[in-house]
Amino acid sequence: MNDLIQVRKSRELGAILGDSFNFLKENLKPIFIPIFIIAILHATIYALLIYKGFIVVSSSNALLRSGGFGSLFLSQFIVIVTSGIAYLSIYIILFRLIEFKSENPGINPTTNDLFKGFTSHFFRLFLIGIPSIIILFFLFLLLIIPGIWFYVIYLFLFPVAFFEKGSFGQILSRTRSLVKDNWWNSFLSFFIPQIILAIIGAIFAGIIIAASAYTVIQDNSNIASTMTIGLPIGYFFLILGLSFLNLWPLTCIVLQYFNLVERKDHLGLFKNLDTLGTEGPKLEVGGPQEY
């Protein structure tokens, strides 16, 4: 294997799963601090909301004093929004890593490099994501299968929006054309690592809950402190870990995006032809292709 994983390359499903892991291993050092910052913020907010949630549902009186189920609903809404923001932020760091490496071969980006233009990228992708989520919501509400079909398209909207630009309609049309003949491969490239991470997350969440329950059984006087302090702390570290683990499925999506582009447009091949006979370091985004 080359010292750099070639991003712009046609791959089969197994290669996407394996190369995504190797890509993260090779680039963990430059992205660690940006991802850690995002993960800390996400985990802190999540832990605080878990803390608030247990106070709300601890008893009927506390439920009424805290605003009832409306307060609980608001907490869950904030959890969903903050998770989406963290998800998008990690995505942008990955995109910037690939963009920087393609423009500066052989050089590792700094934290400032990866956060360069973050605000503009974030709001642009966020605005593109809003109508997509609305469409996705109504498709799932009306019919499950069309919702699942569009969800796979939705997964690749952000890579297309970042690397190719265009209006929402152009991005949606481009994404649909890329995924159309490779729907199952695109679905599995995200579904397989996501299922693995879901199992890991469920195991650790079960351990946290079991440990809390055991503490309560051992000493009933510690129920309040266990439920209001112990669980939030446990979930803080769980979310922190999952933020890093989620880099894997997101990287799989990015590599699958480049795979779809290569199969359709052969841009990596054209890049190779343009650089024949020239000297210089190899770009990680333009290695030999597989067809």
> For residues 183, 186, 190 and 193, what is the CA-based torsion angle, rounded to 10 degrees?
110
Q: How far is CA 278 from the centre of its chain?
A: 37
- Predicted confidence at residue 40, as pLDDT, reads 93
Tell me the percentage of the chain whose pLDDT exceeds 90: 14
> In this predicted model, which residue has the larger pLDDT, 50 or 224?
50
Side-chain-side CA neighbours of 168 within 13 Å: the count stands at 12
Check residue 51 and give its pLDDT.
73
pLDDT of 160 higher than 80: yes
Which tokens is 75 given?
Answer: 């907490």
pTM over cut 0.85: no
Mean pLDDT of 210-233: 63
Looking at this protein, which amino acid is placed at residue 69? F
pLDDT at 45 over 80: yes
d(CA 187, CA 203): 24
Do residues 273 and 37 lie in contact, with contact meaning Cβ atoms separated by under 8 Å?
no
Question: Residue 136's pLDDT band (boundaries 50, 70, 90)?
Answer: confident
For the record, the structure tokens of 249 come out as 């499925």
Region of poorest pLDDT, from 42-51, 166-175, 210-219, 238-247 = 210-219
- Give the pLDDT confidence of 170-213 residue by residue, as tens digits: 888 999 899 988 888 888 888 898 898 888 878 877 777 676 66
pLDDT computed for residue 66 by the predictor: 47
Task: Look at 42-51, 189-198, 255-264, 271-280 and tell me which has the smallest mean pLDDT.
Answer: 271-280
pLDDT score, position 28: 87
Q: Give the model's pLDDT for residue 32.
A: 93
Residue 97, CB-side half-sphere exposure with 13 Å CA sphere: 26
Residues 6 or more apart whose Cβ sits within 8 Å of residue 120: none
Give the C-alpha separation, 22 to 184, whole Å: 23
- Mean pLDDT across the stretch 120-127? 90
Distances (CA, A) of 184 to 94, 189, 256: 24, 8, 12
Higher pLDDT, 51 or 88: 88
Q: How far apart are CA 237 and CA 20, in angstroms?
A: 24
For 206-218, what is each residue's pLDDT tens digit? 777 676 666 656 6
Q: Where are the alpha helices (DSSP H) in 57-105?
A: 60-65, 68-103
Local structure of residue 3 (DSSP, 8 states): S
State the Cα torsion 54-56-60-66 to the nearest 10°.
160
DSSP per position, 122-158: HHHHHHHHHHHHHHHHHHHHH-HHHHHHHHHHHHTHH
Q: How confident is the model at residue 226 (pLDDT cuts 50, 70, 90)?
A: low
Distance from C-alpha of 170 to C-alpha of 149, rounded to nearest angstrom: 19
Q: By the 8 A CB rule, do 20 and 247 touch?
A: no
